[in-house]
């Protein structure tokens, strides 16, 4: 499993607009089988927004991103959404541990398999 850390700097005063657009994007991510693990913003910075998305592996990440960002929906809204962004970056992280169904932190080697976290049916 890999997790993508995305860090955005949002234009001053545009965080409410960004959050509304991001919520729609998050639902699209979920519908396309991308796990959204966390989203947060730093109220002190007044512009830093981060979110985590997880994938089965790099091949899965590339396939799902191509489908999402190549969709009619993204072609329609992408420019308007990204107009709120000053800078952004994505970092791909190798997962070391995850929380299980009981809330315990377990090593990926000991814990759930990729198939547990990402069922083969793509849900």
Residue numbers of the domain that contains 83: 2-117
pLDDT at 98: 79
The answer to whether the beta carbons of residues 42 and 25 sit under 8 Å apart is no
Confirm whether 65 is domain-assigned: yes
Residue 112 has pLDDT above 60, yes or no: no
C-alpha–C-alpha distance, residues 111 and 98, integer Å: 8
In this predicted model, which residue has the larger pLDDT, 112 or 106? 106
pLDDT, tens only, 87-111: 999 999 988 887 778 888 888 765 5
Confirm whether 123 is domain-assigned: no
CATH number at residue 95: 3.30.70.100
Backbone conformation region of residue 82, classed left if phi is above 0, alpha if psi is from -120 to 50, else beta: alpha
DSSP annotation of 111 reads S
Q: Which residues pair with 40 in a beta bridge?
A: 50
Average pLDDT over residues 14-39: 92
Q: What is the pTM of this model?
A: 0.78
Q: How many domains does the chain have?
A: 1
Confirm whether 79 is domain-assigned: yes
Q: How many residues does the chain have?
A: 123
The answer to whether the beta carbons of residues 10 and 43 sit under 8 Å apart is no
pLDDT at 121: 61
Q: Which residues pair with 48 in a beta bridge?
A: 9, 42
The answer to whether the beta carbons of residues 78 and 33 sit under 8 Å apart is no
Confirm whether 122 is domain-assigned: no
Average pLDDT over residues 37-49: 91
């Amino acid at each position: 499993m890999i997790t993508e850390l995305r860090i955005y700097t949002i234009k001053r005063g545009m965080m409410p607009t960004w959050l509304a657009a991001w919520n729609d994007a998050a639902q699209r991510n979920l519908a396309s089988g991308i796990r959204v693990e966390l989203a947060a913003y730093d109220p002190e910075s007044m512009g830093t927004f981060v979110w985590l998305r997880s994938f089965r592996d790099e091949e899965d990440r590339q396939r799902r991103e191509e489908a999402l960002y190549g969709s009619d929906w993204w072609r329609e809204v992408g420019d308007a959404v990204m107009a709120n962004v000053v800078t952004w970056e994505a970092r791909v992280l190798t997962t070391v541990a995850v929380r299980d169904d009981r809330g315990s932190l377990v090593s990926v080697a000991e814990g759930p398999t990729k198939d547990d976290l990402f069922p083969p049916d793509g849900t």
